[in-house]
Amino acid sequence: MKPVVIFRYLAIEGPGYFATFLDNNHIPWQLIKIDAGEAPPVSIDQYSGLVFMGGPMSVNDELPWIPPTLALIRRAIAQDIPVLGHCLGGQLMSKALGGVISSSPVKEMGWHKVDVADNPVARQWLNQLKTFDSFHWHGENFTLPDGAARLISSRYCENQAFALGIHLGMQCHVEMTQAMVKEWCIENSKDIASPSGSSVQTADEILENLAGRVSASNKIAELLYTKWIAGLKH
């Protein structure tokens, strides 16, 4: 199988559990470190799927790698090469497909409940699940691209995930590992130093029962990732 290519935009926001999932399923992958100055590829023909991780920047920023990245997403979708986005990655997907990314009314950081949409597409991706806890760390959100189906929503963000055929864009973070959560709480401590209402949790709240929370999150990730890899190009 051709490798899955993963785009990283910040060292601490790597593929996390997604890389473990790919390894467990014997799927090769390649990491492109945009944060280290590596450029997006010109061609995507050598890849079975494209995956975009999170980052602190906005897709509305004038960064040199954003226009070619949006072009890659559009090209992959036109060629039915599966695309997967996490947080910033989901926003890149939305924008590439004509969506709008804007500031959220409140920042959403920590473990918060999400509700699964009541539609056939959501059930295809998440079976009969109705709600679950997911990890969040964002201050912007995206609109649904034309033709996309909403998969999940939260109290603070109506569009937490969407599917467009074999393509999946998420605002929330199902890729988290315990180490990543701990590192984010340290490296981004200023973001949670002054909790804002119930949408931003303290480090203590985020780290409570971390092993159990991450284990439950991994099971949700397994559902989503298993559906996604079914469309990979061989």
Q: Print pLDDT tens along the chain (234 aa).
A: 999 999 999 999 999 999 999 999 999 999 999 999 999 999 999 999 999 999 999 999 999 999 999 999 999 999 999 999 999 999 999 999 999 999 999 999 999 999 999 999 999 999 999 999 999 999 999 999 999 999 999 999 999 999 999 999 999 999 999 999 999 999 999 888 776 668 999 999 999 999 999 999 999 999 999 999 999 977
Amino acid at 76: A
4-229 CATH: 3.40.50.880
DSSP code of residue 48: S
d(CA 135, CA 218): 11
Helix and strand counts by DSSP (H, E) for the chain: 7, 9
Q: What is the pTM of this model?
A: 0.97
